Structure 1
Amino acid sequence: MQRILSFFTRHAATLFFPMALIVYDFAAWLSTDLIQPGIINVVRDFNADVSLAPASVSLYLAGGMALQWLLGPLSDRIGRRPVLLAGALIFTLACAATLFTTSMTQFLAARFVQGTSICFIATVGYVTVQEAFGQTKAIKLMAIITSIVLIAPIVGPLSGAALMHFVHWKALFGIITLMGLFAFIGLLLAMPETVRRSATPFSALSVLRDFRNVFRNPVFLTGAATISLSYIPMMSWVAVSPVILIDAGGMSASQFAWTQVPVFGATIVANTLVARFIKDPASPRFLRRAAPIQIAGLAILIAGNLLWPHLWLWSVLGTSLYAFGIGMIFPVLFRFTLFTNDLPKGTVSAALNIVNLTIMAVSVEIGRWLWFNGGRLPFHLLAVAAGVAALFTLGGLLRRVRQHEARRAAVGE
């Protein structure tokens, strides 16, 4: 018994904490992906308008923005551990509350609260990983976490479609509730504390000052723009594709689920390559080599829909190739944006997520409007515009990172 306890103590931070965080993150993704094939059923059960279906995703993202301003500065002052534990508990209770919803309004309200998990995971959980490990190991560990978590968009729709043949859609949230509870217990037992309690009091003035300093930092601004723009093509597809393929395209829930496999499978493969085979994922040369992959995906996306507008294949193929390119560079973009400054990391992460989720939530609503008012081509033009803009901001980010490193080297000398 003593040996077991000793092993647990030595390896809690390096093994059990990432595992618990993965379960929490996986459950958060699953709360969207498991229900996506059945979101039309949810709308019909509550006798709501089908146009509200994408709101399940956009309100989830809005929930992800709601507490960013608080959690980053709070975790900088009282520590990462109590904040992340509170988040896991809130998420679990919000999923349990979905079992008792009786209207679309209540369902969307529960989705909003579930979305706060994004705040806790990205602002506190990912920062703890970055602080607990060195640069290369943290990047590779984040790639591993992302690879495992992104199984949810593949397994989720397929499992959701299969399970809904036997159980009511509310039972799916019962499964997620149990996963959330398991994650909470795991974090309670294994999560390390990576910051000391700050002597700076938690006040509105100090929080505003921290955020002001972050938003004045040019590396942060460029990195936040790159990450946000990069994820618009994927997030808009996740939110609107059920309407495109099921409601308008006549696909079954199972058929729709299979169309999501190549998109998220490409991201998993990309993250696996970074974690296992790339020796220096932070190299600018490696980041630039991913750009042609993203461009090719965007080209297929728009050319395929121009030449063969009746086939959904080109939408999936182009988005999948683009997702592969983004999956290769995202862990590095996050690391650069977070650590290429001397600012409080919780606040930096919170500010990054505020920008990221705001842009993604707005893009989902724009994408929905473009689909219902213009069709598939205008909807995909949004993804192309965002993807091209992200490539330009990536170049700016690499220049600023290089300048920052040169200044630090000069000071060190």
Structure 2
Amino acid sequence: MQKIRTTTLSRATLMFPLALVLFEFSVYICNDLVQPAMLAITQDFGVSSSWAPSSMSFYLLGGACVAWLLGPLSDRLGRKKVLLAGVLFFVLCCLLILLTHNIESFLALRFLQGIGLSVISAVGYAAIQETFEERDAIKVMALMANVSLLAPLLGPVLGAFMIDHVSWHWGFIGIALLAFLSWFGLKAKMPETKVSIPKKPFAYIWDDFKQVYQNKRFLAMTVALPMVAMPLMLWIALSPVILVEELGFSSMQYGLAQFPVLGGLILGNIVLLKIIDKLALGKSILMGLPIMFFGTCLLMFGMIWQDYLLWCLIIGMTLISFGEGISFSVLYRFALMSSEVSKGTVAAAVSMLMMFSFFIIIELVRVLYEHYHLWAYTFACFILIALWFSFPRAMLKKILAERVEQGQF
């Protein structure tokens, strides 16, 4: 087991998360700014608009495919070296996509850009969890989430502006510049994490991952993460098609429609910051998931009574994102701390399971959407949240009971 010296949250120690969140913002807006522009991009490449969600799914697939390497590599070489190298690679991929001339090469570069997601989740988040005490780490994650949520708030509006006034290429240029700026902040402010793990050859990576994935507690908490996050991910992937093509929104109306939905996620994170020191850790999850389930019921209601469809979509998704905001950071902490294996490897295992789940579900729903339209989307959201109330909820109850027995608040 790692022996890590943690620190408390202060203005001085907050500089590292702020530098990291600038890169996280760059990685997120690389999806949220591009998705609204995908209808224009597919037209430029002469392909069907049904390719639009694939930009996001290939981005997520890229995040899943290298996490297995980045996490263990950062255990051995240090988080800082791997994180800085990952930032530079992301910058390069953002610039190379400017040279693409067909949808295949575009998606290949989107796949490589997605490696930035693994850099954040398998290396950056692990460094945050190691640097700060338990509740401070969750506060930092919630604060980072709020800052990075500017990406999905600003992304649709900026994407709509690009469609109407400039080329989509300028979006990637701006993203590359932001990420490069974050590199300087990380180089200056990220601590050199010293962890006492045995020096083992890379052949042992398989054994470490095997140990992690055989842990039932880890599986329950990690499988719960995509269940909680997937409805909003599906919304981001499909809402350009839902709102613009199906409901007839303009590009700007589409961008403005994202504000209440993503504002719910920001509000949820703010509420989490307010209540985390007052409730037993994990109680916010038991509060957030019923709210999310009610939101999915509203989506189904809108499909049955079409006169209220738009209101049910926006209000339902706002409730879903609010519930995610007060649940996700705590759930992630429980998943990461559910195994005694080095945290870089555990974070990589979490990242891979999440990203592959995102890719498979988005592509599956994309195909179903072509045949069943909004029914495919709303039913998928309902099923995902309903499934959380099975094995993941039972395991969470067990974890909370154990924490009470151990005197942990």
Q: What interval of TM-score do these two structures reach, taking the shorter chain for normalisation?
A: over 0.9
The residue number in structure 1 matching 2:136 is 137
* Structure-2 change in CA distance of 1:341 and 1:281 (3 Å): farther
Are residues 245 and 100 of structure 1, via their aligned partners in 2, closer, same or farther at CA, if it must alter by over 3 Å?
A: same
- Report if the CA contact (8 A) 1:218-1:400 is conserved: no
**Contact map agreement 2:221 2:396 (CA 8 A) in 1:** no
TM-score by length of 1: 0.91
Residues in 2 aligned to 1:60 and 1:280: alpha-carbon distance in whole angstroms: 38
Identity %: 34
Per-residue CA deviation, residues 348-373 of structure 1 (Å, 9 max, x unaligned), is 11111111111111110111112111
Q: Which moved more, 1:63-72 or 1:250-259?
A: 250-259
Task: State whether residues 142 and 270 of structure 2, in contact with CA within 8 Å, keep that contact through their aligned partners in structure 1.
Answer: yes
Residue correspondence of structure 1 range 78-93 to structure 2 within 5 A: 78-93=77-92
CA distance 1:285–1:231, shift in 2 (3 Å): closer
| CA deviation map 1:367-411 (0-9, x unaligned) | 11121111211321011000111233442232342465478779x
2:164 aligns to what SS in structure 1?
Answer: coil
Equivalent residues of 2:35, 2:53 under 8 A apart = no
More displaced stretch, 134-143 vs 30-39? 30-39
C-alpha contact 2:265 2:324 (8 A) present in aligned 1? yes
1:275 to 273, 276, 284: 273
Distance (Å, rounded) in 2 between the aligned partners of 1:50 and 1:400: 46
Mapped contact 2:59–2:114 kept (Cα < 8 A): yes
Check conservation: 2:143, 2:269, Cα contact below 8 A. yes
Letter matched to residue 92 of structure 2:
L
> Deviations along 1:255-282, whole A, 9 cap, x unmatched?
1111211111100111012124442465
CA contact (8 A) 1:142 1:331 kept: yes
Residues 332/269 of structure 1: CA separation in 2 closer, same or farther (3 Å cut)? same
Kindly indicate whether the alpha-carbon contact (under 8 Å) linking 2:225 and 2:331 is maintained by their aligned counterparts in 1. yes
- CA distance change for structure 1 residues 12 and 107 in 2, over 3 Å: closer, same or farther? farther
Question: For residues 392-407 of structure 1, what are the structure 2 equivalents within 5 Å?
Answer: 392-402=390-400, 405=403
Q: Does the CA contact (< 8 Å) of 1:78 and 1:198 recur in 2?
A: no
TM-score (norm 2): 0.92
Matching residue of 1:244: 242
Q: Is the 8 A contact 2:25 2:149 kept in 1?
A: yes
Q: Is 1:43–1:52's contact at 8 Å kept on the other side of the alignment? A: yes
Q: Which residue of 2 aligns with 1:56?
A: 55
1:230 aligns with 2:228: yes
Match of 1:100 in 2: 99
Deviates most, 271-280 or 15-24: 271-280
In structure 2, list runs of 5 or more residues that go unmatched. Answer: 1-8
What are structure 1's unaligned runs of at least 5 residues?
1-9
Structure 2 equivalent of residue 194 of structure 1: 193
Shift of 1:158: 0.9
Q: 1:11–1:178: structure 2 CA closer, same or farther, 3 Å change rule?
A: farther
Structure 2 SS opposite 1:312 = helix
- Structure 2 match to 1:167: 166
CA distance in 2 between partners of 1:195 and 1:249 (Å): 53
Q: Is the 8 A contact 2:292 2:319 kept in 1?
A: yes
Given the superposition, is the C-alpha separation of residues 303 and 284 from structure 1 closer, same or farther in structure 2, using an over 3 Å criterion? Answer: same
Structure 2 counterpart of 1:374? 372
Q: Which residue of 2 aligns with 1:357?
A: 355
- How many residue pairs get aligned? The number is 400
Distance in 2 (CA, whole Å) between partners of 1:282 and 1:186 is 35
Q: RMSD over aligned Cα, in angstroms?
A: 2.1
1:9-158 matches, cutoff 5 A:
14-158=13-157
